[in-house]
Amino acid sequence: MRFGENNWRLVVRREADGVALLRAATCDECAVLPDAVDGVPVVALGDHALTPAAAPTDGEALTITGAPCDGAWDNRALRELTLPPALAAVGDYALMNCRALQTLRLTDRPVAWGTGALMNCRALRRIELLWDERDDGGAAVYFAGELSGELDVSAWRERRCVLRLIFPEYDETYEENGPAHHFDYRVYGAGQPYHRAFPGGGLSLADYDALWDRFLAGEHEPDTALRLAWWRVCRPYQLRENAAARYRAYLAAHADEALRYLLTLGDAALTETLLREIDCPADALRRAAALARERRDTAATAILLEALRRKGGSRRRYDL
């Protein structure tokens, strides 16, 4: 029995290059896998390592206890998971059927992912990458290729988000064509090119940005386009000016929606950033200020009223 931040029941195997977690079960909703066992780094997850109801396996049993937890130790409630920084290999079906998993955090380094490692992780939408000096984005390429749902990938350095990418969802199906005795392959949604934009295996932001016009011309959700454009402008890592101009033009044409979205995030600094990036019409500013006041967001209200004043359009009195 050991003590840590989270609750884990582990089965481990000590290998020449580090420790492999053959099984890892928690009752927590948000959990961090241990970086090391007895000072030896964790470098691998075994086959079915976190799969709920996985069959028992031989190895050294280890229990880590953290805060009290009344849930079942089966990973079924696991919503957020942080992987060990030295992780180099993930076994087949390692996270299969972790249906509640929404967020995965890991160091952006080469990892050998096994077959079906994320099978049935249909709620997984957010990937947070910890960047070091390599900054190659290789992990983003893996997840974009593996998952067809909308994916929100962010990269962090020293606790600061430096890049955030939205990969729009798509669906691909094979539909039986009885008279022709074959199956027709169909793709729904405009997201597939984003998920498959990196044939060389590395993250190319130029290739990502080049898909924008094609995306707008296809079947897409307007709110997805808004968030994609906003986060590229807000976190402009390697963003070229010609691509930035196209994103800004979209945001300017949808200023009302952009301001409403940012107010829902509750971070007035983001609203201030948007106002520096685009020229919002006075009517949009006025409506956003009224909404901010309704939400009792005094910081955003003040920012929006100041922007409206600079346009000469602030005639209504607001109580902050």
- CATH number for 1-124 (one of 1.20.1300, 2.60.40, 3.80.10, 3.40.50): it is 3.80.10
pTM summary value = 0.90
Q: Domains of the chain: which residue ranges?
A: 1-124, 131-252, 254-320
Residue range 42-59: mean pLDDT, rounded: 97
Residue listed under structure tokens 């990892």: 111
Confidence band of 180 (pLDDT split at 50, 70, 90): low
The answer to whether residue 311 scores a pLDDT higher than 90 is no
The answer to whether residue 254 scores a pLDDT higher than 80 is yes
Confidence band of 4 (pLDDT split at 50, 70, 90): low
- Count CA within 13 A, CB hemisphere, residue 189: 19
Which residue, 276, 306, 273, is CA-closest to 289?
306
Distance CA 220, CA 218 (A): 6
144, 166, 202 from 199: Cα distances, Å: 12, 18, 8
